[in-house]
Amino acid sequence: MEEKRYTYEDFLEIIKTLRSENGCPWDREQTHRSLRPCMTEEAAEVLAAIRIYETTGNWENLREELGDVLLQVVMHACIAQEEGLFTMEDVVNEVAAKMVRRHPHVFGDVQADTSAQVLKNWDEIKKQEKEGKAYAQTPLREIPPELPALTRAAKVLKKADKLYESQGTLADAAEKVRAATGEIESLGEAAGEERLTAPMGELLMAVSNIARLCKLSQEQILCDKIEELIEKYE
């Protein structure tokens, strides 16, 4: 007997059933806030699945983990619908409209032959979209603190460089690394947290600036180095 294949619409109904009065007690208890750790974990597991696919060629885990991320999206949309805010259909419509709006070089008559031009147009359109929004924050504050610190540092440095003042050259950043490292070395391990925190912060920001200037993903680089270290001892 052939195994039943579920459609997208079937999946939406399954989640609604789980959230219903006769559904699952755990699913019914969930809120936007309670699900936050789940989204973080599922996103990380997608990244792990991509690594597994690249190293082994096995795509099954990637398919599964993408489904788990979709589950989180649908759960939030289902909760929002119960709250009278919006539906999953609204989510799909909004992201589709956004893709059309932010790709005028594909769906309109704007010329953009390079990725740099595409990103420039994207940022400008995004800025226009945010104007007048009640939830809009200052340019640097709109970079979510929920991001990993290394990722957030690179984004803040990039935007500060663009909107306010230069965050320095590669040579400037390298000199800050040397200065911070020298101060940490001179203080020594016994200096304690209070005295070592400031130069360590300077060191980490300088390294983040180097990664930004070199267009490197420091988060991914560090993750890869951690894996290398683990593999060394296994």
Asked if residue 146 and residue 90 are part of one domain, the reply reads no
As a whole number, mean pLDDT of residues 125-130 equals 86
Within-domain flag for 165? yes
Rounded distance, CA 206 to CA 213, Å? 11
Within-domain flag for 118? no
Within-domain flag for 130? no
Which band of pLDDT confidence, cut at 50, 70 and 90, is reported for residue 62? Answer: very high
Domain interval for residue 231: 137-234
Asked if residue 146 and residue 57 are part of one domain, the reply reads no
Within-domain flag for 108? no
More confident of the two residues 142 and 14: 14
Where does 20-59 have alpha helices with state H? 25-29, 36-56
Spell 78-92 as b/e; 16+ CB within 10 A means b.
bbbbeeeeeebeebe
- CA proximity to 227, closest of 61, 51, 40, 49: 51
As a whole number, mean pLDDT of residues 122-143 equals 81
Range 101-104, long-range pairs (CB < 8 A, 24+ positions):
101/125, 101/129, 102/126
Asked if residue 146 and residue 195 are part of one domain, the reply reads yes
Neighbours of 199 (CB within 10 A): 19
Rounded distance, CA 107 to CA 112, Å? 12
Please identify, among 101, 129, 148, the residue that sits at the C-terminal boundary of a domain.
101
Q: Which CATH number characterizes residue 147's domain?
A: 1.10.287.1080
Structure tokens, 157? 């440095």
Give residue-wise pLDDT tens across range 164-182: 999 999 999 999 999 999 9
Please identify, among 55, 85, 101, the residue that sits at the C-terminal boundary of a domain.
101
Asked if residue 142 and residue 97 are part of one domain, the reply reads no
Cβ contact 142:136 at 8 Å:
yes
Within-domain flag for 183? yes
Number of compact structural domains in the chain: 2
Within-domain flag for 127? no
Q: Indicate the burial class of 196 (C-beta count within 10 angstroms; 0-12, 13-18, 19 or more).
A: middle
Q: Is the pLDDT of residue 137 over 80?
A: no
Give residue-wise pLDDT tens across range 179-206: 999 999 999 988 888 899 999 999 999 9
Q: Which sign does the torsion angle of CA 100, 101, 105, 110 carry?
A: positive
Asked if residue 96 and residue 3 are part of one domain, the reply reads yes
Please identify, among 75, 101, 127, the residue that sits at the C-terminal boundary of a domain.
101
Give residue-wise pLDDT tens across range 68-122: 999 999 999 999 999 999 999 999 999 999 999 999 999 999 999 999 899 889 9
Say which DSSP state 134 is in.
Answer: T
Within-domain flag for 132? no
Asked if residue 173 and residue 225 are part of one domain, the reply reads yes
Rounded distance, CA 46 to CA 4, Å? 25
Asked if residue 97 and residue 173 are part of one domain, the reply reads no
Tracing tokens 């180095």 back to the chain, one arrives at: 225
- Residue 234 is predicted with a pLDDT of 85
Tracing tokens 């769906």 back to the chain, one arrives at: 107
Asked if residue 81 and residue 9 are part of one domain, the reply reads yes
Asked if residue 156 and residue 89 are part of one domain, the reply reads no
Within-domain flag for 126? no
pTM: 0.74
Asked if residue 91 and residue 3 are part of one domain, the reply reads yes
